[in-house]
A and B are shown apart, each in its own frame.
Chain A
């Protein structure tokens, strides 16, 4: 009879003992980090809809490692490289793509074994989940806020892409390729689906760490941006009331017309990002057409289901092996740089409007142009209300916020159009 070790009964622990020390420590760290994310989500310090499934997924995937044939260690959750062969070291991204489409029999086997593989292979790695999120966001957007103040909204949204623009050369100078630099720069757009889409198109080999870093930081915007605003905008200006203005209300027909023209023109300009534009404006069109059943479907089913699986799959992709990639540290630095630069850019735009209007524009509204819908608009209103309770900036903030989503999609499309080959 072969010798029997009790520890073999508990393979999660046995794989820890058998792993290299750095992998074992990274797994333990990620298990505790996952638990911390669940706690911070519950306390609403971080976005709970994303962080609770993500944290639990992260803890589970790093705990549930087991032995397969030939002492190979893996989990039953999913295999991000399923259907692919191991690429030779230093292989170009195009070679990795070619290799990963060669082995469909293996992919079919894994689809029947790993429980989240169908979700990952059929919705994640082709960007469908980003489109579902965009459809859901589309029905939440009232483009009337943009149509009421188009110049201010577009101006602020452009400034709030400062991080998206400036992080690209910084990342390139730090040794990333052009495509990788563009993918990580999109974190400055503060729009999760856009980061996912761009990294899938331009830097598939780094898409897991870029997306994880992007979403982790997006969770932090709600907690971190108020401190940044307080540091850069004095209380007197934060409490500045917006003058009463007479705004022409757009009818639902006009909003629908605007959505149809915008979608068509943007798809003509940037065919590579047409799925994202279509998904976003489809949501707007459904909302403005009053198709209540579709509104319910997009808002309550697509958006929540996609957000849930996005969080869960991102957590499960946080395996120790993946995150021990030395480029992750660079991505962490670049991600926070991009988000801070975008926030500062938004506030610079706010200050320019403040001076251009002779001191009648609250500069805090600029932060809302960082397109994390609707988080940054809520942050702007919260900070302003804390300075003076009766000041309402929400309609202005929502205009900038919605325009920020469109501008981020345009920046993603420009990067993909120029660099995708």
Chain B
């Protein structure tokens, strides 16, 4: 395939959109209440370290991509296990985010529409995006990221009238424990979900680019999440924000600027739908690519439709109700996802480093003998 590359800029913007994705509406880290900004800052710091692991895994062999280097170090069976686990994670997350989108549309906008219809339309679009290839998705991101960031910043700026700095005070009222818990939530949903980009990203031209893509993407995306979360807190206050399913949506609804700009919650919905489309597309892309590698195919486009339909089914039957879904995301997701986001990459990295060391020793021994 010739057109299987994305530029460094597109990579950064993809991570930014991926992080903004669903988490701009569902604010994580609410356990920390008014100290949520500390939680998010800690989260960004900790994720930087986790991302260095991803970067190392992607660039460990300069002339091979992630899958090939996995096979080189772990052998055929070992690499298949790792790829299978990451593919399952990507697929499951795809279903979960899709369900989130469907519930949002059905509760907020199209109240008479069945959940299945709302989700089906988006997943078919995502499957078509996957079929058109990573380069097209990259260019699409480049076009729409401006809309997302500009809309978000303008809307946050317009809520300025309703902000009350006292809602963030007192700092560190409940001690350090809720902050740590909150930052754990923020790390696992959205920041470290970027682990699936290991499956998605093609090889970049230079080694340095990968590091820049991951870290700069995290920084910009993290700052956007920080801005929206803090704005939610300032406008709504910790207790109200905790009771809401979509705090950002509610915060933007309070905008009254002059006599002519009222209620910007539609903007929040537009931004959410644009960003979530990209997030689901990337997750589906990861699932398709992982599956095709598992079964030894070079092309992954033919499998996009069936996997999209499968994800659609999973999104429908995995959760009974919206209440259960939200409880699950806040209570179970951090523990469940940290296995895939933190434990597996770390274990793989440790094995890779040990293998490199033993290989070096062997080659040195050979030199001495010769």
Asked if A and B bind, the verdict is no
